[in-house]
Amino acid sequence: MRYGQERLRELLQPKEVRGNFSGAVCGIASLDRAERGDLSFLANGKYAPLVPNCRASVILLPSDYVGEPPPDGAYFLLENPSLALGILCEEIDREKERPPEPGIHPSVVLSGTAEIHPSAAIGPFCVIGDGVHIGPRCRIGSHCAIGDRCRLGEDVLLHPRVTLYRDCTVANRCILHSGAVIGSDGYGYVWERGRHRKLPHVGRTSLAADVEIGANCCIDRARFAETAIGMGTKVDNLVQIGHNVFVGENCLLVAQSGVAGSTELGDGVVLGGQAGIAGHLKIGPETQIAAQSGVTANLPPKSIMRGTPALPLGTAGRLYVYWKYLPELFRRVETLEKEWSENSIR
């Protein structure tokens, strides 16, 4: 990484540049750790007091920031500093990553009925089943397993050790990180004659375009019909999605969250870390569920929920305040009961 001021201007297109720096930016660092030659940024207002003393050569700042840079430093004022940093990181990533050459590694176990586009790259020790279709410019990392009748669209990226069970569809530009398992059996059993009998799952699993699945996620195959993840949804590491779940478009599912079977998430739903959604529910579009919350009932659109069981944010906040005072409340009640008892004896 090495960028001069003019190259940064070209990439980030700031609304205003204050100051000037010589040389080149060679690293990215937080405001409190940056040194000369680094680029830093302010995306959260609580860190604004760190800006005046930051040693970075370039700082990306909100367009309404008031202040001047030190000598040989520059402030880039932007509508969204975090987005600008993302654009810069995309450029760095393109420079660092060398796309593999198209072709199939000799160690791949490949069914004779699979269709692989000539522009795709299949890494070492992959196993590709019957009737698989892999589209243009797909990149399949080493040790991936792609089951029978799976279909991958264009520009799909599977990092090493991704597993697709049979009958999975992965649409254009999806990214699946290492250890993700798509299409595994759903958790379905019926009690019969003193034992749990496994229910077969004969459905499919589909990921729409521009979905990203984090490392070690599990998305279950449908018991019937389809488990579906909507376009643009981003799933963090270690997330569990049950059978016959429907996740809408542009949702965010943060690490260790879980969605039980046959639940439907509307477009734009956000699940905080370790949030849990019970089965057979409907969660309205643009709902936000706070971290470690447990949802056990249907929710209307644009709900903001917290706690277990999940309650509207304002109600949950008031209850949390009351909860802190419970020991004192009980002490006062015990004192009153004791006084009342003593007075009644007299």
Domain boundaries, the chain: 5-96, 103-313, 314-346
- Residue 97 pLDDT exceeds 80: no
In the DSSP assignment, the letter for residue 100 is: P
Pairing of strands 74-78, 16-19: antiparallel
CATH of 5-96, one of 3.40.50.2000, 2.40.50.140, 2.60.40.10, 3.40.1390.10: 3.40.1390.10
Q: What are φ and ψ of residue 218, in 5° steps?
A: -130, 125
pLDDT of 54-86, one tens digit each? 999 999 999 999 999 998 899 999 999 999 999
Name residue 247's beta-bridge partners.
229, 265
Question: CB within 8 A of 293, min separation 6: which ones?
Answer: 272, 275, 276, 305, 306, 307, 308, 310
Assess contact for 108 and 126: CB atoms under 8 A. yes
How far, in Å, CA of 218 to CA of 260, rounded? 12
Assess contact for 236 and 250: CB atoms under 8 A. no
Q: What is the pLDDT of residue 117?
A: 98
Q: What is the pLDDT of residue 262?
A: 97
Q: How remote is the C-alpha of 319 from its chain's centroid?
A: 30
Question: CB within 8 A of 52, min separation 6: which ones?
Answer: 67
**In this structure, CATH architecture of domain 103-313:** 3 Solenoid (2.160)
Assess contact for 243 and 222: CB atoms under 8 A. yes
Q: Of 27, 45, 43, 23, which Cα lies nearest the Cα of 35?
A: 27
In angstroms, what CA-CA distances link 185 with 157, 269, 327?
23, 25, 47
Assess contact for 108 and 114: CB atoms under 8 A. no
Q: How confident is the model at residue 307 (pLDDT cuts 50, 70, 90)?
A: very high
Q: How confident is the model at residue 346 (pLDDT cuts 50, 70, 90)?
A: low
DSSP per residue, 330-341 = HHHHHHHHHHHH
Catalytic residue among 177, 196, 243, 280: 243
Largest CA distance in the chain: 97
Residue 333 tokens, joined: 């009640």
pLDDT of 203-255, one tens digit each? 999 999 999 999 999 999 999 999 999 999 999 999 999 999 999 999 999 99
Residue 174 tokens, joined: 């999806």
CATH topology of 5-96 equal to that of 103-313? no
Q: How remote is the C-alpha of 183 from its chain's centroid?
A: 19
**Average pLDDT of every residue of the chain:** 95
How far, in Å, CA of 42 to CA of 16, rounded? 15
Specify the pTM. Answer: 0.87
Residue 238 one-letter amino acid: L
Any catalytic annotation for residue 280?
no
Assess contact for 305 and 287: CB atoms under 8 A. yes
